[in-house]
Amino acid sequence: MLKIALNQTDNFLFSVVKNIFEKAELNCKMARKKLDLKKELDYLKEEPLIPFMSDSTKFEKLVKFRIKIVLGIFFVAIPLVGFLGVTSFYEIHYSYAFPLTLIVTLLATSRMDEIVIRYAQTRTI
């Protein structure tokens, strides 16, 4: 059962990453910016979720920002609300929701890190 849940989560994250990359590429093409996709994928293989620096390209900033938004919504906000609801329902102190959310967030971030690297490696240019 856990393996099925992990596969579903990985499939969801992979499709989100693919969609983020496609939209970022389209955005760069619409802005008529020259995009060296091989170089961008190499940067993302090295540092998929590390905060972008001032010398980062627009593509890299856009991809990392969107990935962080997805992580924030699906793996911080939704689990926090869910855990707060569960603690309220079972009349447990609400402070237990925060460490549980932190655990979910750390696990999802590590999975997202691996998925971005895997996508960058398997992406054909």
Task: List pLDDT tens digits, range 40-76.
Answer: 888 888 878 777 666 778 888 888 899 999 999 999 9
Among 125, 72, 48, 31, smallest CA distance to 56 is for 48
Q: What is the pLDDT of residue 80?
A: 96
Long-range contacts of 16-19 (CB under 8 A, 24+ apart): 16/67, 16/70, 17/67, 17/112, 17/115, 17/116, 17/119, 18/119
Predicted confidence (pLDDT) at residue 125 exceeds the cutoff of 70: no
Distance between CA atoms of 94 and 100, rounded to whole angstroms? 11
Could you identify the residue written with the tokens 């750390």? 106
Domain boundaries, the chain: 2-122
Query: How far separated are the first and last CA of the chain, in Å rounded?
Result: 36
Lowest mean pLDDT among 11-20, 28-37, 52-61, 107-116: 52-61
Distance between CA atoms of 91 and 106, rounded to whole angstroms? 26
Supply the pTM of this predicted model. 0.85
Q: What is the pLDDT of residue 69?
A: 94
Predicted confidence (pLDDT) at residue 28 exceeds the cutoff of 70: yes
In the structure encoding, which two tokens stand for residue 110, read together?
């590590």
pLDDT tens digit string along 81-121?
999 999 999 999 999 999 999 999 999 999 999 999 999 88
Alpha helices of 1-125 — where are they, by DSSP H?
2-30, 37-46, 58-72, 78-89, 97-122
Instruction: Work out the average pLDDT over 32-45.
Output: 84
12: number of Cβ within 10 Å: 13
Predicted confidence (pLDDT) at residue 123 exceeds the cutoff of 80: yes
Predicted confidence (pLDDT) at residue 124 exceeds the cutoff of 80: no
Distance between CA atoms of 59 and 52, rounded to whole angstroms? 11
